[in-house]
């Protein structure tokens, strides 16, 4: 086995042993989102944009459902609303989608 493959296997083993980062369950959802974004060293402007889009997504449904109970149907409805009624560009829709996907990861 080459030195490179042994080294890469070592780092893969370290990453797998660390497990997935879990935010503090005792804090509010948006604070948990910020905690994960900061853990993964996202840019501050990305943090602001993602939190804004996630907040808009939740408010769009009037906080009637918890985000864990929403899924593909609600995401499709929200993105359709952005395209049809808010008339946002494709890149803006993509940014909103990426923020929502981040929420569910």
Summarize pLDDT for 11-69 with one digit per residue, the tens.
Answer: 555 555 556 788 889 999 899 999 999 999 999 999 999 999 999 999 998 877 777 77
Domains of the chain (ranges, CATH numbers) = 3-104 (1.10.150.130)
Question: In the numeric block, which tokens belong to residue 51?
Answer: 């939190």
> Which helix (H) or strand (E) element contains residue 20?
none
Confidence (pLDDT) at 21: 83
In our burial notation (b when 16+ CB lie closer than 10 A, e otherwise), range 81-92 reads ebeeeeebeeee
Q: Which residue has the higher pLDDT, 74 or 13?
A: 74
> Taking the model in full, what pTM does it have?
0.76
Confidence (pLDDT) at 32: 94
- Please write down the HEC assignment for all residues of 23-81: CCCCCCHHHHHHHHHHHCCCCHHHHHHHHHHHHHHHHHCCCCCCHHHCCHHHHHHHHHH
Q: Which residues contact 96 (CB under 8 A, 6 or more apart)?
A: 53, 56, 57, 78, 79, 82, 88
């Amino acid at each position: 086995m080459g030195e490179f493959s042994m080294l890469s296997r070592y780092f893969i083993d370290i990453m797998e042993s660390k497990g997935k980062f879990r935010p503090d369950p005792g804090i509010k959802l948006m604070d948990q989102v910020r905690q994960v974004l900061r853990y993964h060293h996202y840019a501050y402007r990305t943090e602001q944009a993602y939190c804004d889009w996630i907040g808009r997504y939740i408010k769009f449904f009037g906080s009637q459902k918890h985000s864990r109970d929403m899924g593909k149907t609600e995401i499709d409805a929200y993105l359709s609303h952005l395209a049809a009624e808010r008339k946002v560009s494709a890149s803006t829709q993509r940014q909103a989608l990426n923020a929502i996907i981040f929420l569910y990861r």
